[in-house]
Amino acid sequence: MKNILLIGLGRFGRHIAMELSELGHEIMAVDINEGRVDKVLPYVTNAQIGDSTNAEFLESLGIGNYDICFVTIGGSFQNSLETTSLLKELGAKMVISRAERDVQEKFLLRNGADKVIYPEKQVAKWASIRYTDDHILDYMEVDASHAIFEVEVPKEWIGKTVGELDIRRKYDINILAIKNNGELSMAISPDTFFTGNITLLVIGEHKAIKKCFHI
């Protein structure tokens, strides 16, 4: 469990609060708008109405006590940038800020953000990959060149085992798990047998996975 400061409670910030709450984290939520604060009260540990560009207000929150500070302010990049910078000046351990454009990402990183999340861009990439190939059931980027894919078993693999196919050496990918009727099994061995009613969670370089599964 971590102590988290969440600044900016629009739709995206509210969804962050809901997810963090399900994961069991302690959340302090902040927004200048009372209505938005009221909407997240069921999901957070504490909440305050205040201006995050005001250094005295931020300092009163005890910034150094939070493991992560999320800045999810929408509509005013100036406020987001000022808040990000102030958080770092006040000793924030980790600042994760939201960007809505490429240029904003660069400015946030230069002004104190440790990480930048760019929801529209990230979801657009995910949707483009996920829904343009019938063999892909899910996708998660690990870094610029590696990803985890949930894919159907290639027809030529059905009836064979991991050992027979020598997957790691031949295809340069790793099978993380097998999903069968919604049940996930990570017990992968050379004797693991492929059938047509399972899907695979695989990790590797984009180019290796795309070549292996004809994506």
Q: Percent helix, strand and coil across the chain, each rounded to 5?
A: 40, 25, 35
What pLDDT does residue 215 have? Answer: 66
Per DSSP, the three-state class of 93 is coil
For 185, phi and psi rounded to 5 degrees? -125, 125
The answer to whether residues 150 and 120 touch, using CB atoms and an 8 Å cutoff, is: no
What number of other Cβ atoms are within 10 A of residue 206's Cβ?
A: 17
Tell me the C-alpha distance between 88 and 166, whole Å.
49
Integer angstrom CA distances of residue 127 from 8, 121, 136, 150: 26, 10, 11, 14
Name the helix (H) or strand (E) containing 119: helix 119-131
Which structure tokens are listed for 63? 């910034």
pLDDT recorded at residue 166: 87
Distance from C-alpha of 181 to C-alpha of 48, rounded to nearest angstrom: 44
Tens digit of pLDDT per residue, the chain (215 long)? Answer: 899 999 999 999 999 999 999 999 999 999 999 999 999 999 999 999 999 999 999 999 999 999 999 999 988 899 999 999 999 999 999 999 999 888 888 899 999 999 998 877 777 776 776 676 667 778 777 777 788 888 888 889 999 998 888 888 888 888 989 998 888 888 888 888 888 889 999 998 888 887 887 76
Cα–Cα distance between 195 and 185 in angstroms, integer?
14
